[in-house]
Amino acid sequence: MFKFALMTLVAAVSAVGAAQAVVALDPSRGASALVATLREGPAPVAAGHATAISKASDGHYWAEGDVNGARVRFLVDTGATAVALTLEDAQRLGFDPDQLDYRQKVMTASGETRAAVVQLAAVSVAGARVTNVDALVIEKGLENSLLGMSYLGRLTRFEATRTSLILRP
């Protein structure tokens, strides 16, 4: 038992040391950020149950999502780095498009455009819920909101079959 406790203590001290080294490499983060991270623990992970989204007749996976309490229809896009919202969907979610900072340059199917970074409190698709999801509001050229990797990558696993996309929180 003593051996286990000693190993746990060594692991905790090592983790704190590694975190301090990361903070030292990134001067924009101060000690208070490190303390907050240690208090909060790891980023929240997905919750819910495994579920499947059927492939549509157009060959795509379309998902109805609950975002911050409102419905959003997403095109599932594993090639999208982040969840991407149309201006219309962002507005329905309570973001004022005129007040957003469109400083990020992004490539869409329509070409280069600008995007604003936002954070979504929660995104739930077919019961697979992820909190604190980074997203982009695309200024121009996005026809459908995209369910990208800032959501999908936080799931335990997702897999595409011939007929469905399986989400595992």
Q: Give DSSP secondary structure letters for 36-51.
A: HHHHH-SPP--BS--E
The pLDDT of residue 45: 67
The pLDDT of residue 19: 34
As a dihedral over the C-alpha atoms of residue 115, residue 118, residue 122, residue 128, rounded to 10 degrees, the angle is: 30
Closest CA to 44 of 117, 157, 121: 121
The pLDDT of residue 44: 52
When pLDDT is averaged across residues 39-67 and rounded to a whole number, the result is 83
φ and ψ of 45, to 5 deg? -105, 175
For the chain, the average pLDDT equals 80
Q: What is the pLDDT of residues 11-38, one digit of tens each?
A: 333 333 333 333 233 334 333 333 333 3
149, 78 contact by CB (below 8 A)? yes
What residues does 104 pair with on adjacent strands? 115
Which residue type is seen at 95? F
